[in-house]
Structure 1
Amino acid sequence: MAHLAEQVRRRETRAVSVARAALERVTNGDDHLRAFQEVWPQHSMEVAREVDAAVKAGTHLPMAGVPIAVKAWGRTESTVARRLLAAGCVPMGVTSVPSGRTSWQTWGTTARGPTRNPWDGTRSPGGSSAGSAAAVAAGMVPLATGGDSAGSLRIPAAWCGVVGLKPTNTWLPTSRGDGLGAQGVLTRDAGDLVTALDVVLPEAGPWLLADTAPAPRTAVWSGTLGYASVEHEIAAVAYQAARRLEGAGRLHLCTEPVVRLDDPSEVWHAKREAVSPPSPPRSPSSGASPVRAAGTGGDDAAAAHMEAVLSEVDLVLTPTTPTPPHGHDGPGERMSVSLTWSFNVTGHPALTVPAGFTTDGLPVGLQLVTRHSQDSVLPAMVSGVLA
């Protein structure tokens, strides 16, 4: 992605040529995938021509000509999209999100039907940033915008085998005002992620890759966070990815401290419903043990526990999801958000990267969580090894 932008800046290629090629990929692939709710051929070419004119006039555009997809919730008006467009990106269209007709949000819808997972069309890509993850995974675009209030960027990134970051909640909060979410981006690898974040979140940088990373970090593995029900194969694949990072010298896995959070369901819903209606539908029951009631400090307790853990180690590693992608009929009683939404409550930055595959060939994600406002170290932990 950085090389593509450099070629456009040097006028070795033109943004209109890049946009035309991306539109062709979308046209050829999206009838099957249904990642896009809207495709903008005319608008894309107009923006690309403007980028070429700006480059010719000597304007520096760090992401000149890079094709992007924008999530339907926020579209080009979201903070992350506006920053990318100002840097020279060219929008191809709007990606799918859930319709709101179900209590589960790990899917996407279009007028042509549900969005398909690029790895297995009978499966969901996750959500709510469903089409964004699918479009990046299928190679239609190298970059897409997303948002994450319960895992809705990290879950589709994990299920589609791409990279996704939920920043520290206060960096780029979502528009709902409940304090649970942050805007982010999805990319194919850590290098592209850093290229995008240099533009989207320069205040959180400098963003690091392996060749500029500090000494290896300490990390603790938690397969369940103390409460989640996680399929054995998912946990095993994610743990082996963590071991690969250790073998590459990126981190040292410690056996302590033990991460024991409470299921955040009640706290999450209390915070969500404290803002204006309409309230989102509740997720299916997880079958977990009772949790702290709203107003008893459950969110503060979770944040305090994470701060205590992260005072002893630099990172907490978990699977990103407890299960593989579900079918288009939904997750049933399975809690797809069970390993992600704790960090929406606590606000910690969390990165998901491809960990490997199940025996059925479905992607598995590894989640890396670190201290507030230390987001910039996360890409360096995985670049060149997992992403």
Structure 2
Amino acid sequence: MVAEALDGVARWDPLLHFIDTLDADGALSRAERVDLGLPLAGVPFLIKARTPAGSPIVTRLLAAGAIPLGTSTRARPDAVSQTFGWNGSEYTRNPWDLSRSSGGSSAGAAAAVAAGVVPLATGGDSAGSLRIPASFCGVVGLKGTAGRVPRADGRALAGLTIGGFIGTTLEDVALATSLVSGPDRLDPSALPHWPVPTVAGPESWRVAYRSALGLIQNDPAVNGVVRGSLAVPSIGVQDVALDWLPVDSAWLTLRDLDAGLPVEPSALQAAVQVRRHNSTALADLFSSVDALITPTTPRVAHGYDQHEQNIVVGDLCWGFNITGHPAVSVPVGLLDGLPVGAQVVAPHGREDVALAVAARLMMPISPPG
């Protein structure tokens, strides 16, 4: 499996530019010595570039037998927008259309998974950085409940960033998330170990649908694809109110707090109030429905070098980093030959619900060629 994955790197990376660093010899050496009784024995994966050394998300995958090929691309540091990847000389491209971005900041992860090079890659999600690239590339991206995956630097003040996975299937990302979950000496406040859920559930699910959550209006065609994916017998769309406040200012304030930058007390108070209000609004919503569904992004993948003009692509995602709810993006169709993703949001701690509902919507797709 590792040799095949390295062949895939040799074939596709010159076109897609998803590799940040490659350790082919190290990967093959690990593969020769792997314990075949481990749950991920020999499964090749990529680590998101600039992941801190000793991160539990990596050490626990290694302990489960997975084999790292190297690191995957992400956006340049300090970029205004993170919806692109950069390997130092080239932008990461989308396997569906080389003129398009693969999203970000977990850009290389999504491109490599969509191209079939690896079945799984690690990522991090502060404002949609797992879900956006998964949507752009037509694969699965899961952001768990805040605290689901332990962090190398422990609990952050604002808690926006959640480690997680981009993968080919819901089962893959669920298994990987379970294996890396649970408290760690570096993050003892992480949530308890999360057993692998069965991607199943009742015969029907009650869901609410929103085409927009902030000031950005979706491309009507994207909305049409996602809304159409709900027309299945097991999904019942309910007309339920959601009293949602815009989150852009709150997210920026909380991001600065996590980065150790100066934050005005009044701005922090306002951000905390947005978090409280929207968390309560979601609690009220989930008292009537099982899940909330939105498009993952307002539009399909933008040009690979047009990221600064497209910072709005996270408008449907970043609110759930503020509230800490689990959310998963799955492909539900194509628009003009590009993938469209649906985002399924569930109550705190109910990744199993998000995955089960997403399984009813997901349409597995593969890029041409």
Alignment TM-score, normalising by the size of structure 2: 0.88
Match of 2:190 in 1: none
Which of 153, 161, 176 is matched with 1:196 structurally? 176
Displacement, 1:190?
A: 1.6
Match of 1:14 in 2: none
Which of 258, 261, 269 is matched with 2:252 structurally? 269
Displacement, 1:123?
A: 0.9
Distance 1:180 1:198 in 2: 20
Q: Structure 1 residues 217, 103: CA separation in 2 closer, same or farther (over 3 Å shift)? A: same
Which of 283, 286, 295 is matched with 2:269 structurally? 295
Distance 1:335 1:69 in 2: 27
- 1:77 equivalent in alignment to 2:51: no
Distance 1:45 1:26 in 2: 14
Distance 1:333 1:63 in 2: 37
Distance 1:43 1:78 in 2: 19
Partner secondary structure for residue 98 of structure 2: coil
Q: Equivalent pairs: percent with the same residue?
A: 35
Which of 164, 170, 194 is matched with 1:184 structurally? 164
- 1:241 equivalent in alignment to 2:229: yes
Displacement, 1:79?
A: 2.1
Please give the residue correspondences for 1:88-237 in structure 2 after superposition, counting only pairs within 5 Å.
Answer: 88-172=65-149, 174=151, 175=153, 177=156, 178-201=158-181, 203-210=193-200, 213-225=201-213, 227-237=215-225
Partner secondary structure for residue 113 of structure 1: coil
Match of 2:318 in 1: 341
Displacement, 1:106?
A: 0.4
Give me the CA root mean square deviation.
2.0
- 1:330 equivalent in alignment to 2:330: no
Match of 1:252 in 2: 236
Q: Structure 1 residues 226, 28: CA separation in 2 closer, same or farther (over 3 Å shift)? A: closer
Structure 2 gaps of 5+ residues are 183-192, 365-369
Alignment TM-score, normalising by the size of structure 1: 0.84
Match of 2:347 in 1: 371
Whether contact under 8 Å (1:221, 1:318) holds in the other structure is yes
- Give deviations 1:16-73, integer Å, cap 9, x for gaps: xx2111111111110110001111111101211220xx33xxxx30110001111013
Match of 2:18 in 1: 35
Distance 2:143 2:54 in 1: 19
Displacement, 1:276?
A: 4.0
Distance 2:324 2:17 in 1: 32
Q: Number of aligned residue pairs: give it.
A: 344
Counterpart code for 2:223: A
